[in-house]
Amino acid sequence: METGETPLERIRLDLAYDGTGFTGWARQPGLRTVQGVLEDALATVFRRQGDPPRLVVAGRTDVGVHATGQVAHVDLTPEQFAHLANAGQLAKRVNGIAGLSSDVRVRRAAIAPPGFDARFGALWRRYEYRIADHPDAQDPRRRSHTLWHPAPLDEQAMHDAAQSLLGLHDFAAFCRPREGATTIRTLQAFEWSRDADGVLVARLQADAFCHSMVRALVGACVGAASEARAILDAAVRTSAFKVMPAKGLTLVEVGYPPDAELAARAEQTRGKRSLPDRAPID
Amino acid sequence: METGETPLERIRLDLAYDGTGFTGWARQPGLRTVQGVLEDALATVFRRQGDPPRLVVAGRTDVGVHATGQVAHVDLTPEQFAHLANAGQLAKRVNGIAGLSSDVRVRRAAIAPPGFDARFGALWRRYEYRIADHPDAQDPRRRSHTLWHPAPLDEQAMHDAAQSLLGLHDFAAFCRPREGATTIRTLQAFEWSRDADGVLVARLQADAFCHSMVRALVGACVGAASEARAILDAAVRTSAFKVMPAKGLTLVEVGYPPDAELAARAEQTRGKRSLPDRAPID
């Protein structure tokens, strides 16, 4: 899209959504997706300013996965940018589009710092997975984003299992295989704790996650905590654990380097991931 | 229903629900209500054990109001009670009824202590009201039970207003008038604070609330904080504030006296409220 001739204005968008009513992030014909709904809203905002801008996103969340800290960017032509009083107004305009349901929200819109790329500039992604494993923690108001588990789980065993998986590994055992794509990742954080309501919450952070990796890691802790490290070491897919349902999963934050290092980071990531990366990455 | 001859077994039920899909608590012909859904489930559980048991509830929540700490009781005949392995099983049976949606949940079922009455034995009710007044706090996952307010609110002014209303007063200015019903209540707690996500949360506790009283008190803080006390003192309904939407409101806890004082408390309350009390009490 970018021609290198037109000075496009890059806008960073911070997004939140309830994934229940979406067929994931990525636009698909005939399906309601987060990207589709937001790009349609952008097309409405700029209906008289040429080609509608397209979104580039940090984490292409899968069907039913939620986000509170998703990050995307759009490149606006000078004409489109001039149509706004300021960058922040884009959030209000998109949120105000008739028919944009409250299950997706632009929380902030701001001019991106030079070199910023929502996808290739990201240093890490952080996810949470919520499990209510006893009736007191099963809050019907929060059922859209919490898995209800029928029996009490051993929080300490799950936490120990999670800790045993930290570091740089080949996560092939927890990734849906894709030809030519690496499954080597650095799992920077993975811990389990209970929140004030007694809900078991996993917090995971990695440079990037491959498809269904978070839900596989969570599933290994729930179903086979004592074997989690052995599963990792075997480096092959196994039936010892289940990939958990999407509903408990939320993308909560995407980390970027300081502004001065943005361009270098994006170049470096682009170089490493030579193959097109079309599948959702949880 | 109670004949005084049959030794009925009283079961205390602790309930949680998302009020979005319900036309309030109280059973109404042709409408989906919390009481209706639960009593229908009880009728299924005891379909071969005579007349289905009826629920008596602590707080008859209004259309769209949620609960995490609702309390009810049912009286089971010996035949019905014998149909259960134990009282706790009633929660599993009701929750397991095919078609009982996950927007209502029996969190606990247990034999009630002697003299327990979910409605007349209650000492106090506690409610929360959630307002997300800036985009960062507007979490689409929690939109069913959080009001989104378009502009930042003054938390301190709201808290001061709330504090000015504490105590024993005639709350006529905040109650929908009902003939013969008193509007004198003791507001035991009313405070505003922000939770970890930046959501403004009001916590209110009173011996009882009259219809729409919580939402009127919250509305006075949002719209006319500086006048809240004057509104109370005027003791007449005014247009200076709006009754807030039900969606932000959750009944979070009902307080009962120690077991030894239960029967005396229920007798005392029954005596005070001579008129039938049919309207929802928030």
Helices B213-224, B155-163: crossing angle, 10 deg rounding: 130
Which of A11-25, A215-229, B41-55, B230-244 shows the lowest mean pLDDT across its residues?
B230-244
Which residues of B are designated catalytic?
62
Answer whether B135 sits within 8 Å of A91, measured CB to CB. Answer: yes
Question: What's chain B's Rg over C-alpha atoms?
Answer: 20
Tokens of B271: 């005596």
Q: Does A178 have pLDDT greater than 90? A: no
The pLDDT-based confidence of A267 (bands split at 50, 70, 90) is confident
Whether residue A27 is found in the same domain as residue A142: no
Last residue of a domain, one of B86, B121, B156: B121
List of residues 6+ apart from B138 with CB closer than 8 A: A16, A105, A107, B132, B146, B148
**Of B195, B207, B206, B179, residue with least CA distance to B277:** B179
Same domain, A84 and A146: no
**Interchain contact A104–B (C-beta under 8 A):** yes
Chain B residue with minimal CA distance to A66? B141
The residue from B121, B153, B177 where one domain ends is: B121
| Residue range(s) defining the domain that contains residue A59 | 9-121+259-272
- Residues B144, B74 within the same domain: no
φ, ψ of residue A73 in degrees (nearest 5): -135, 155
Catalytic annotation present for A62: yes
A170 with A72, same domain: the answer is: no
Query: Among candidates A74, A76, A62, which has minimal Cα distance to A38?
Result: A74
Would the CB atoms of A139 and B68 count as touching at under 8 Å? yes
pLDDT in tens, A207-226: 999 889 999 999 999 988 77
- What is the residue type of A128? E
* Residue A239 belongs to some domain of the structure: yes
- Which positions 57-86 of A are in contact with B (Cβ < 8 Å)? 66, 68
Q: How many domains does chain A have?
A: 2
| Separation between Cα atoms, residue A55 and residue A14, nearest integer Å | 12
Residue B98 has pLDDT above 70, yes or no: no
CA distance B109 to B231: 42
- Residues of A with CB below 8 A from B105's CB? 135, 138, 140
Using one digit for the tens of pLDDT, what is the confidence trace for A194-209? 999 999 999 999 999 9
Name the pTM for this structure.
0.90
Q: What is the ipTM of this complex?
A: 0.89
Instruction: Report the CATH number that the domain containing residue A85 is assigned in CATH.
Output: 3.30.70.580
Please list every residue in chain B whose beta carbon sits closer than 8 Å to the beta carbon of residue A132: none
Who wins on pLDDT, B266 or A192? Answer: A192
In angstroms, rounded to a whole number, what is the distance separating the alpha carbons of residues A8 and A87?
13
- Of A16, A106, A148, Cβ closest to residue B139: A16
How close, in Å, is residue A127 to chain B by CA atoms?
A: 15
With respect to residue B265, please indicate whether it lies within any of the assigned structural domains.
Answer: no
Smallest CA–CA distance, residue B234 to chain A, in Å, is 37
Q: A97 and A17 share a domain?
A: yes
Report CB contact under 8 Å: B102, A16. no
Please judge whether A66 and B103 are an interchain contact, meaning their C-beta atoms are less than 8 angstroms apart. Answer: no
Looking at residue A278, what is its pLDDT?
Answer: 47
**Residue B98 shares a structural domain with residue B53:** yes
